[in-house]
Structure 1
Amino acid sequence: MLLHRQPEFSVIDAPSILGLRPTGVELLPKALRVAGLLEQLKADYAGMVAPTSAYNYKRDDGTGMLNPQAIKDYTLKLAEAVNGELRKNKFPIVIGGDCSILIGNILALRRLGRYGLFFIDGHSDYYLPEESSTGEVADMDLAIVSGHGPDILCDLDHLKPLVMEQDIVVFGYRDSAQSAQYGCQDIKNTTMINAIEFVDVQRLGFQNAASLGIETLLKNELSGFWIHLDADVLNDSIMPAVDYRLPGGITFSELSNLLKLLLLSKKAVGISVAILNPTLDKDGSIIRNFVSCIAEGLS
């Protein structure tokens, strides 16, 4: 299936908080629509995939995760919706919700062949359950899609890993010191993941760092790649509306430029957007700026 083409966008709402907490990120799809995302991108609305299970605050005894079975059920539903849009030759924009939505998006592509992942996030999201202080799958999504963690989420459809480590670029994360304190694996030095930390972006310069990441991914024999965007990759001074804040980060203009470069590769096939919490944006200005940034980057 040829999926890399000039995109015709379709938006899927994925307001799941099963991998985080019900703090407000579930309101993001509506907030982005109200701010004009669909109109600015001339995108179709493909509907909502809503969780059918209630949030459970107790960690699962077998896996150490919160809500593993509910997330599995949700992931399978979301993957079907994404596959449906891809079959229509659309470019899905999947709006969370928390970062556990990534699993369904990557499963959808894994069913089709070998695809990569360009992961834009302020956090590496590479915790194993025993390393996570919370059990939140939004801490673990990158580890899960690359095959590390309990099989209830890692081995969906018996397709583990959903994406190979060498087919992943992680861009802009800045939580290495924090992760090390919890004993989380250092993705840069102990995996085959292509890791570009925020400090690397500063050292290389944004354009060079972005080009390096994209060129690295394009060297592999991929049918295409998925983009995952966590709003907390943006500088904390312009994106404080997230539940786990970190100092530093990239600018709106840098993010728009990165998205443009990714689409110019003609290999990007879809994007997920997560974590921005509208309840932390008191006047709506952060949402409006974020929508303008995404629309500029994808146009």
Structure 2
Amino acid sequence: MLRNVEIISAPSILGLRHTGVEYLADSLLRAGLAKQLHAAVHHVPTLNADYNPQRDPHTQCLNPLLLKDFSLTLGKAVSEAVHFPIVLGGDCSILLGIMPALKAKGNYGLLFLDQHADFYEPIKSTTGEVADMDLAIVTGRGPMLLTNINGLRPYVKDEHVVHLGQRDQEETEKYGSQDIRETAIKCFSLTDIERNGVDQIMTSVQQYIDTLKLDGYWLHFDTDVLSDDINPAVDYRLPGGLSFEQAATIMRRLLHANDIAGMSVTCFNPTLDGDGSIAQGITACIVDCLST
């Protein structure tokens, strides 16, 4: 039996580039996501047409003003959702709309599945893409224009974040990113999962979550956390990753054991999925984890 859900299509690429990620929502909907979930679909207008490939000189980020405006629009849609919202990006910068909306309602945590730490400072980012610094921004690190929307900084505290599946540690060290392992963010890397197994890791995750006593959580699923062997349709590829079954198991256990306010799906690039099979696999994974 499926929970009552509604889908919010929010294909912003303001924190990335025009690579094809803007077609994520359309691709998963064509693969039957709304039909299988019996969900209505709401579309949030993007500002992608105004995308500027040049860094803002004050923040060193791409499109910060556009991102703030889009985030306010997306946050309103999330706040007004009647049923469990599934937000289909776009890139990971959609969290800048989601997390302030939750902060305005109460004290929420973030359960973050991603192959990347997404913890760069703008000056250390080689691109200025907010999609590689979104976790830093929602925890209060970065330019005030983005970290303090509606005076709500930080949108989530470090100790209320659980990061699962990171496998870019070597890259973060190479480029000088801040290290999430040196914060109060609870981290379970891909190496941890491979060494200890999903069941043991999820027991540890749940034990940690049980100590927090929050109003609820947001579940973020960046599809690049999946193995490169089964999902090469992402813009920044790294070897290794989770199987569909592992990802679905992790998300199902999180969804069934906790008060999850909604979930987001990001960074799948359908233009790299020639026959649509990856979109079908991601759709099946989402439907699986939402089944009760």
Name the TM-score, length of structure 1 as normaliser.
0.95
Q: CA deviation at 1:19?
A: 0.2
The question of 1:236 aligning with 2:232 is answered no
What is the aligned-residue identity percentage?
46
| Partner Cα distance (2:48, 2:247) in 1 | 33
1:151 aligns to what? 144
Give the 5 Å matches for 1:166-245. Answer: 166-188=159-181, 190-245=182-237
1:96 aligns to what? 89
Of the candidates 54, 61, 64, which is equivalent to residue 57 of structure 2? Answer: 61
Deviations 1:140-170 (A, max 9, x none): 0000000000010001111110000000000
| Partner Cα distance (1:262, 1:101) in 2 | 21
Of the candidates 20, 30, 34, which is equivalent to residue 34 of structure 1? Answer: 30
Asked whether the 8 Å contact 2:88–2:266 carries over to 1, the reply is: yes
| Partner Cα distance (2:67, 2:3) in 1 | 29
Asked whether the 8 Å contact 2:12–2:48 carries over to 1, the reply is: no
Q: CA deviation at 1:45?
A: 1.4
What secondary structure sits across from 2:209 in the alignment? helix
1:140 aligns to what? 133
Give the 5 Å matches for 1:125-136. Answer: 125-136=118-129
1:3 aligns to what? none
Asked whether the 8 Å contact 2:44–2:73 carries over to 1, the reply is: no
In structure 1, what residue type is equivalent to 2:118? D
With 285-294 and 50-59 compared, the bigger mean Cα shift is at: 50-59
In structure 1, what residue type is equivalent to 2:147? C
Of the candidates 250, 257, 266, which is equivalent to residue 265 of structure 1? Answer: 257
Asked whether the 8 Å contact 2:219–2:264 carries over to 1, the reply is: yes
With 93-102 and 38-47 compared, the bigger mean Cα shift is at: 38-47
Can you give the 5+ residue segments of structure 1 that lack an aligned partner in the other structure? 1-5
CA RMSD across the alignment: 1.1
| Partner Cα distance (1:63, 1:217) in 2 | 34
Q: CA deviation at 1:52?
A: 6.2
Can you give the 5+ residue segments of structure 2 that lack an aligned partner in the other structure? none
Deviations 1:61-111 (A, max 9, x none): 0010000000000001000000000xx2x1100000000001111111001
The question of 1:8 aligning with 2:4 is answered yes
In structure 1, what residue type is equivalent to 2:46? A
